[in-house]
Amino acid sequence: MLKLEARPNPSKLWGFASPLLALVITVLIGTVIFMAMGKAPLTALSMFFWEPIKSSYALSELAVKATPLLIIALGLSVCFRSNVWNIGAEGQFVFGAICAAGVALMADATTSRWIVLAVLIAGVLGGMAWAGIAALLRDRFNANEILTSLMLVYIAVFLLTYLVSGPWKDPNGFNFPQSKTFEKVTQIPRLLDGTRMSIGLLIALAGVGALWVYLFRTFSGFQLQVGGLAPLAARYGGFSSRKALWTALMISGGAAGLAGALEVAGPVGQLTPYIPVGYGFAAIIVAFVGRLHPVGIVFAAILMSMFYIGGELAQSRLRLSKSLTGVLQGLLLFTLLACDTLIAYRVRWQR
């Protein structure tokens, strides 16, 4: 029989190279899938790895996709480093978008431009409130945050559907389930004319620096990481696990809510039932591919956004299924887990 035996000294080099190896394996498996579907592998792969970067406009669209993934993954990395398993970032993203839309819908032609700040704050507070439900259930009733945060995703989506089909439905929207288009004063400022790239990208990059400082240069960040790596040592050192739980979920929920606010007040410009596109779930993969490090998450977010854009192009140009994007995302996660397992363990044959 085969047995996994822990390596005495796992390779640090392969610890950093593992995501690259996982990407190579994913590409190879993807090539086989394209061939089985009767598509030219090079043409299909170019949709994922060349088309998203071949022009300045393509790069701007890449940034639009990468921004919410980066922001959400930064928040999730805080949770995962502190051993808090927030799987419901998608719900926090949606509820943050709902709260931001609620503020944006109150604007009119005479509203000050400063309402943009209120829209973003509403998104952050909405995401924190939605994550706070999972934190409260874990803190008060010891409920598993994996299940509660995941179930809250569906509640947020149903709430979104109710609002855009009922109270917030646009009366001039030809009966489509969507809110009215937000006033121009509520729209997130664009970085470049003629593109959809907004200041959300700058906020995301600022978040990378802020998270690096918090995790590696503050005592609070040190407490969170010790609690995740060695809970008994953290308890012996007097670190509060309750405080770590609330801090991690508030940061993660606030980041997801901010991403939702930037989405509805940025590229979308209104509240629709198509706001939940899976960014909250894809950001989990981004966080782990980026090794839960702020800098690594930047590159992982770019890679995942290339999968999103490539999937859309493959659907329109090659008539491939939209689910292909999810297949490649899942392959990347599974191959990464397999590579990490072989880094930490070696396979032994045992009679």
Which DSSP string do the residues of 259-321 spell out, in sequence order? HHHHHIIIII-S--TT--SSHHHHHHHHHHHTTT-HHHHHHHHHHHHHHHHHHHHHHHHS---
Cβ-contact 149, 159 below 8 angstroms: no
pLDDT at 84 exceeding the cut of 90: yes
213-11-298-77 Cα dihedral, nearest 10 degrees? -60
Structure-block tokens of residue 259 = 């991403």
Cβ-contact 113, 279 below 8 angstroms: no
The rounded percent of the chain whose pLDDT value lies above 70 is 100
The listed range with the strongest mean pLDDT (231-235, 264-268, 293-297) is 293-297
Q: What is the mean pLDDT of the chain?
A: 93
pLDDT at 91 exceeding the cut of 80: yes
CB-based contacts of 46, cutoff 8 Å, min separation 6? none
Structure-block tokens of residue 122 = 């509403």
Residue 169 has a pLDDT of 95
What 3-state class would DSSP assign to 48? Answer: helix
Residue 234 has a pLDDT of 80
C-alpha pair distances (Å), 183 with each of 64, 189, 215, 270:
21, 13, 38, 9
pLDDT at 232 exceeding the cut of 90: no
**Cα 313 to Cα 51: distance, rounded to the nearest angstrom:** 8
DSSP 100-141: HHHHHTT--TT--TTHHHHHHHHHHHHHHHHHHHHHHHHHHH
Local confidence band at 74 (pLDDT 50, 70, 90 cut-offs):
very high
Q: How many CB atoms lie within 10 A of CB 169?
A: 16
Half-sphere exposure of 84 (CA within 13 A, CB side): 36
**Cα 204 to Cα 254: distance, rounded to the nearest angstrom:** 13
Cβ-contact 111, 318 below 8 angstroms: no
**Cα 345 to Cα 351: distance, rounded to the nearest angstrom:** 19
pLDDT at 289 exceeding the cut of 90: yes
Residue 126 has a pLDDT of 98
C-alpha pair distances (Å), 68 with each of 62, 74, 276:
11, 10, 12
pTM beyond 0.85, yes or no: yes
> Between helices 56-81 and 219-229, what is the axis angle to 10°?
70
pLDDT digits (tens, 9 = 90+) for 126-162: 999 999 999 999 999 999 999 999 999 999 999 999 9
**Cα 11 to Cα 16: distance, rounded to the nearest angstrom:** 9
